[in-house]
Structure 1
Amino acid sequence: MTNWTRKALLLSVSAAAVAGTLTAAGAPVAHGRPAEPIAPPLAWGPCEPIPGTPVPAGQQCATLRVPLDYRVPGGPGVDLAVTRLRTDRPEARRGTLLVLAGGPGGSGVRRVAQKGGALRAATDGAYDLVGLDPRGVGGSTRANCALPEADRHVVTLRSWPAADGSITENTERSRRTAASCARNGGPVLGSFSSRNQARDIDRLRAALGERKLSVWGHSYGSYVAAVYAQEHPNRVDRLVLDSTGDPDPTRVGYGWMANVGPAVALRFPDFAAWAADPAREAEGLRLARRAEDVEPLFLALARELDREPRESEVPGVPLTGNLLRQALHSSLDSDAGFAPLARLIRSAQDPRGRPALPPGLAGAIPDEDASVMMAVICNDVRWPGPDSGYAGRVAADRARYPLTAGLPANIAPCAFWKYDREPKPVRITDEGPSNVLMVQSLRDPATPLAGALRMRAALGDRARMVTVGQGGHGMYLGNGNACGDRTVSTFLVTGKRPARDSHCPN
């Protein structure tokens, strides 16, 4: 496996990636009884080191060859990096659990390395754990848009409006990004789509020799998992959707982005309460005496940085108002992000200091990472065109949700995207086995409860949902609570779900 690159901070927010190029649709799949794909067995071997992530003992890696375009199965192919961590209790083995990372752009190989030990323990060794790097990610076949470095910083890749709320610069950047992707990305970039990920998963299932897969999808990965289960309902054993976006097939990524404003507004009070707690005093991180004063403080500081950016510890990368807003959004995924965010705010308030930027905001994202994050959501569905009233929507969203300053409603390269054909996202329905468990925070800053409830409604009696009182993004094994973890683990091991939708309070 080759071409490992660092994971960008933007990958933590599956709803918020922007831009890419052409769509390569696969052959239609009949519901219920699709033809069994032909896939030779995988040749497993040792894994190469993953920077920053220890590889568990016994984790194996392989390469899966899949068609570039499923309409031309004998044509050019792309390679997918695959990993496996076999059960340490073969006598308890039920089957294979596929671990799907978020993003778009998250690495399944890395996620198995990160979560494999905890997941194997939580499921009592019931599964071989398998992950794959989707097209364009990690050790899989890559592509790029040849974007200039200045356009690959998180705060330029994401369309934060200018300090005065104008979107002229966003519009020009989006136009040139889409043109560069169309010019340089080629058919490989055009094949980066959720539907192709689902087709690749079924090819992986066949290569593993499994009749069915169980799946744990996290964030954007939960959407891909739902698409796979919709297209191949009889090839899914147990399905966990963890932190799920709105599956509306007319909007998909555009709708996920639009949901970010209310999502951040719901989550911010958790940070405000933490930052006003007297316990922060000894840490030097108490921002206000009262929780209700933290938001005005933050907004005033962001406006000050809009007017006068502060020189940071990174030469040539000042702390701007939008960079501070981006740091806020990224920090809300987990309570563990609260202290670094408060520290950044404190340093920005000190006129003599040089703020230390979070690692993911301190430089440009590698071109290939930026390209796949954009391409998937732009290829999946047609976004409103550039003349559809973005400026007005930004102004309204900016007034209603000041913490996100109009970002969720802003124009993106997807507005200028070049398509071979009209994209047709999968419509998630209640047709299929009742084998889905959803786990969802009440206050998720990336995939809010409102969107997850739309997924829940679409699935009907196929699903049960357990909501979790802990705020944040990604609830199972690391960011939720013991009750939620126990409910998911029990389902994966025994198949038992709550009789009805339930709640796990903190």
Structure 2
Amino acid sequence: MNRRLAATIAVLTASFLLAACTPERTQLIPEESAVTAAPTGEAIAPEDSPVYQQEVEWSRCGELECATLQVPVDWTDPAGPTVDLAINRHGATDPDARLGSLLINPGGPGGSGLDLTESFVVSAGEDLLAAYDVIGFDPRGVGASTPIACGDAEQIDEFFLTDLTLDTQEQIDAAVASTTAFAERCRELSGPLVENVDTSSAARDMDVIRAVLGDDQLHYLGYSYGTQLGAVYAELFPANVGRMVLDGAVDFLLPAVEQAAGQARGFEGALMNFIDWCRGEEGCPLDPNPERAAAQVRDIALTARDEGYESLDGSPVNGNVMVYGMVVTMYDQNSWVYLQAGLDEVINEGTADIFFQLAGFYLDKDPATGEYLSNSQWAFTSIGCLDAVGDEPTTVASLDQMRAALDEASPTFGWWFASSVGCDGWPWEAKEPVTALEAADAAAPLLVIGTTNDPATPVEWAESLSEQLASSELLIFDGEGHTAYGRSNQCVIDAVDGYLVDGQMPVSGTRC
């Protein structure tokens, strides 16, 4: 079993385009030392911020080069205090063919772009690597950039991993109060940065990276949430958009319930595709009948929620942990073997150690020590809740309505998507929210990519985002899993590299 779990981590690491190691994380402490004073003055336009005048100083960090930039804590005060923004670089392999810099983002929100760079340069096309300096970055509040902090592992677990019962208004109110208390602890530990890790602020940081690297235009490839970041950049800086690829597109302008329903349907569909695959594999523990097999998986998830399982060391596996452990295997079909192994353990041994380990991978948490290896989990919430402008308060009626919609979308996972109050109770909203994509119409052509059986960002989102971005074209990968470039086929690599390197946009609607 230990060998099997070790292999799990190896396969999933490749699946998610994450590097094998992560940079050292430090907790942000005293507010006064969390920021560095920049020149003060009267209010100025963001593009006139002193941070645009800084020079980047590179140093070696393994096979790459690393540097740290400064960006304003609060972009409404562009000449005010600053925080660190960590970047790294893999130089173009053919200086004679070099076109400039290509900024990459792995998604999340809260994912580390520094981690992405090492694996990206292994999976990307040779023509792309010859033409671009690949630039990774940890967005504001994340990882090796000045990070937000929200407490120790026990406090994080209590907030994120507790299974909630939300049947009465009193229970809902208690959950909302818990969200507010969690946010206030983040503010106490992180200072004003936690109020300013929204997507628009991160997009403004990207323009600083573009400028200090000496590029007139931003060339960009973003995965998953990184597509939202790219689209917001195009809205804020349409004239600065160069060649931009949005892979695993998020339609972030959809109402929250519709987004949740889309993902619930996506993971239900991935589960059924897994079941079809498993039925043809030797040792599949599931019933040969697909509907009965789906019921088995559903019962395991609900038993974890209502009664719980144990891992081999006795650590509890509740509903949240079980679902995290299941869905993490659905991001790439190469990981289905580990979903099969986890189900086999539960069905035949009555323990859930594999799902416990898999959940730890999803959460970037060491299952052996219980410590979190990065701040991606609470960065995800802090960024997402700042962006969630205009969400309605949660009530018994609204939650019942959501449950009905999500149960219909996913009989297996719908309850889980409806088992929290979301961002209700988060005290702050983004100061510059993007609620429409209109200015982006003036941007240079963008390439939007969707995968037909993507569970996390359904292909319909790529189609709708492409419709909203008037200058975009749509590329479809017929396949399983989350995102396409670097994990799909040569057709996708040729299409993306042909656009990024040669400027040849594939015909909209091309399928690979």
The alignment's TM-score, normalised by the length of structure 2, stands at: 0.81
* Corresponding residue of 2:268: 265
* Corresponding residue of 1:485: 493
**CA contact under 8 A between 2:199 and 2:229: conserved in structure 1?**
yes
**CA contact under 8 A between 2:266 and 2:457: conserved in structure 1?**
yes
* Corresponding residue of 2:458: 448
Instruction: Tell me how far 1:158 sits from its aligned partner.
Output: 6.7
In the alignment, is residue 395 of structure 1 matched against residue 395 of structure 2?
no
In the alignment, is residue 180 of structure 1 matched against residue 185 of structure 2?
no
* Corresponding residue of 1:294: 293
Whose RCO is larger (CA < 8 A, sep 6+)?
A: 1
* Corresponding residue of 1:412: 421
Q: String of CA shifts for 1:415-466, please: whole Å, max 9, x gaps.
A: 0011277763242236123421111111111111222222111012x11111
* Corresponding residue of 2:23: none
Report 1:201-216 matches (<5 A).
201-216=206-221
C-alpha change, 1:482 and 1:420, in structure 2 (3 Å) is: closer
In the alignment, is residue 43 of structure 1 matched against residue 57 of structure 2?
yes
Q: Which moved more, 1:466-475 or 1:299-308?
A: 299-308
Amino acid at match of 1:445: P
Amino acid at match of 1:125: A
Q: String of CA shifts for 1:55-81, please: whole Å, max 9, x gaps.
A: 5x3x10000001111222232100010
**CA contact under 8 A between 1:178 and 1:414: conserved in structure 2?**
no
> Of 445, 448, 453, which residue of structure 2 is paired with 1:435?
445
Amino acid at match of 2:316: P
**CA contact under 8 A between 2:143 and 2:374: conserved in structure 1?**
no
Instruction: Tell me how far 1:286 sits from its aligned partner.
Output: 4.9
Q: String of CA shifts for 1:225-279, please: whole Å, max 9, x gaps.
A: 111112111212111000011131x74x6653342211212222221111111xx
Q: String of CA shifts for 1:138-172, please: whole Å, max 9, x gaps.
A: 1100122236625437xx5278654x978976763
C-alpha change, 1:234 and 1:275, in structure 2 (3 Å) is: same
Q: Name the CA distance, whole Å, in 1 between partners of 2:287 and 2:45.
A: 57
Amino acid at match of 1:61: C
* Corresponding residue of 1:73: 78
Structure 1: 5+ residue runs without aligned partners?
A: 1-5, 14-26, 48-54
Instruction: Tell me how far 1:413 sits from its aligned partner.
Output: 5.0
Amino acid at match of 2:384: I
* Structure 1 SS opposite 2:455: coil
Instruction: Tell me how far 1:289 sits from its aligned partner.
Output: 2.6
Instruction: Tell me how far 1:481 sits from its aligned partner.
Output: 2.4
**CA contact under 8 A between 1:160 and 1:406: conserved in structure 2?**
no
**CA contact under 8 A between 1:87 and 1:128: conserved in structure 2?**
yes
**Pairwise CA RMSD:** 3.1
Q: Name the CA distance, whole Å, in 2 between partners of 1:445 and 1:124.
A: 29
* Structure 1 SS opposite 2:67: strand
Q: Name the CA distance, whole Å, in 1 between partners of 2:252 and 2:139.
A: 20
* Structure 1 SS opposite 2:231: helix
* Corresponding residue of 2:38: none
**CA contact under 8 A between 2:162 and 2:320: conserved in structure 1?**
no
Instruction: Tell me how far 1:408 sits from its aligned partner.
Output: 2.7
Q: Name the CA distance, whole Å, in 1 between partners of 2:475 and 2:162.
A: 33
* Structure 1 SS opposite 2:505: coil
Q: Name the CA distance, whole Å, in 2 between partners of 1:180 and 1:304.
A: 28
* Corresponding residue of 2:381: 374
Quote the sequence identity (%).
25
Q: Name the CA distance, whole Å, in 1 between partners of 2:296 and 2:443.
A: 50
Instruction: Tell me how far 1:43 sits from its aligned partner.
Output: 0.4
* Structure 2 SS opposite 1:447: coil
* Structure 2 SS opposite 1:177: helix
* Corresponding residue of 2:474: 465
C-alpha change, 1:352 and 1:422, in structure 2 (3 Å) is: closer
> Of 123, 133, 136, which residue of structure 2 is paired with 1:131?
136
C-alpha change, 1:299 and 1:28, in structure 2 (3 Å) is: farther
C-alpha change, 1:82 and 1:286, in structure 2 (3 Å) is: same
C-alpha change, 1:89 and 1:170, in structure 2 (3 Å) is: farther
More helix by share: 2
* Structure 2 SS opposite 1:466: strand
* Corresponding residue of 2:327: 329
The alignment's TM-score, normalised by the length of structure 1, stands at: 0.82
Q: Name the CA distance, whole Å, in 2 between partners of 1:100 and 1:68.
A: 20
Q: Which moved more, 1:221-230 or 1:69-78?
A: 69-78
* Structure 2 SS opposite 1:128: strand
Instruction: Tell me how far 1:351 sits from its aligned partner.
Output: 4.0
C-alpha change, 1:149 and 1:323, in structure 2 (3 Å) is: same
Instruction: Tell me how far 1:348 sits from its aligned partner.
Output: 0.5
C-alpha change, 1:292 and 1:411, in structure 2 (3 Å) is: closer
Amino acid at match of 1:489: D
Length, aligned pairs only = 460
C-alpha change, 1:422 and 1:433, in structure 2 (3 Å) is: closer
Amino acid at match of 2:460: A
Structure 2: 5+ residue runs without aligned partners?
A: 1-8, 18-42, 361-366
Q: Which moved more, 1:122-131 or 1:97-106?
A: 122-131
> Of 101, 104, 127, which residue of structure 1 is paired with 2:106?
101
* Structure 2 SS opposite 1:176: helix
Q: Name the CA distance, whole Å, in 2 between partners of 1:440 and 1:387.
A: 34
In the alignment, is residue 225 of structure 1 matched against residue 230 of structure 2?
yes
C-alpha change, 1:365 and 1:342, in structure 2 (3 Å) is: same
